[in-house]
Amino acid sequence: MPRRCLLNNLGLVPYTLAWEQQRSLVAQRIADPSLDDILLLLEHPPVYSLGQGASLEFLKFDPAEVNWEVHRVERGGEVTYHCPGQIVGYPILNLRYYQQDLHWYLRQLEEVLIRVLGVYGLTGERIPGLTGVWVEGFKVAAIGIKVSRWITMHGFALNVCPDLSGFERIIPCGIVDKSVGSLDQFIPGITVAEVLPLVVRKFAEVFEVEWEEVRG
């Protein structure tokens, strides 16, 4: 039987609210591992996030001197940027029901996004030693996770049609020799609303889950 996963499509959500919701959901599932998994899908207003061990040298600005929103969080990885036009997915999964293997989980998240790109005839690529998905040398999806007692949080960000200028203020993911891109470079006019159902469908395929949609 496929495992049930709750689907919560939240729309545009401030970073701190989504972060707080994730931590609450994880705490609930650590206390009661029988609770259903859940996938939060959303967009964020412009915000920078740094992984717990991320280096400030990858910021091209002094966060003390600007009013851009910056948060250091408990995920792995370096600095990244979120903004409208980007699909952000935060899976809260109990990996005991899948595979207790973080590398497997990262590759599964990449596979979801590679399959989404394939619907549009785009070839999503992995780069050995790095995490994320590239198309023709442009990084279109970033991934950063945290796992506590095999419960996952944070997740992936797929650049559909964002304003990429915010990435110019950082060295994204600490990778100096790779450019950030988006799907609308290859498919002009593509929208988040169009891609979102594909992310849902491909996530269900890859993780072999059945959805139950929830609100709020």
98 is in an annotated binding site: no
81 is in an annotated binding site: yes
Alpha carbon distance 167, 59 (integer Å): 10
80 is in an annotated binding site: yes
168 is in an annotated binding site: no
Active site residue 173: yes
How many other CB atoms are found less than 10 A from the CB of residue 56?
11
The pair of three-digit structure tokens given for residue 36, joined into one six-digit string: 């259903």
- The CB-based long-range contact list for 60-65 (8 Å cut-off, 24+ gap) reads 60/168, 60/169, 60/170, 60/171, 61/169
51 is in an annotated binding site: no
156 is in an annotated binding site: yes
Phi, psi of 75 (to 5 degrees): -75, 170
How many other CB atoms are found less than 10 A from the CB of residue 208?
11
76 is in an annotated binding site: yes
**50: which DSSP letter?**
E
CB 173 within 8 A of CB 142: yes
75 is in an annotated binding site: yes
Alpha carbon distance 139, 80 (integer Å): 12
79 is in an annotated binding site: yes
131 is in an annotated binding site: no
Instruction: Single out the catalytic residue among 5, 83, 161, 173.
Output: 173
132 is in an annotated binding site: no
144 is in an annotated binding site: yes
The pair of three-digit structure tokens given for residue 110, joined into one six-digit string: 């990449």
- Residue numbers belonging to the annotated binding site for substrate: 75-82, 142-144, 155-157
Q: Annotated binding site, which residues? A: 75-82, 142-144, 155-157
Question: Which residues carry out catalysis?
Answer: 173
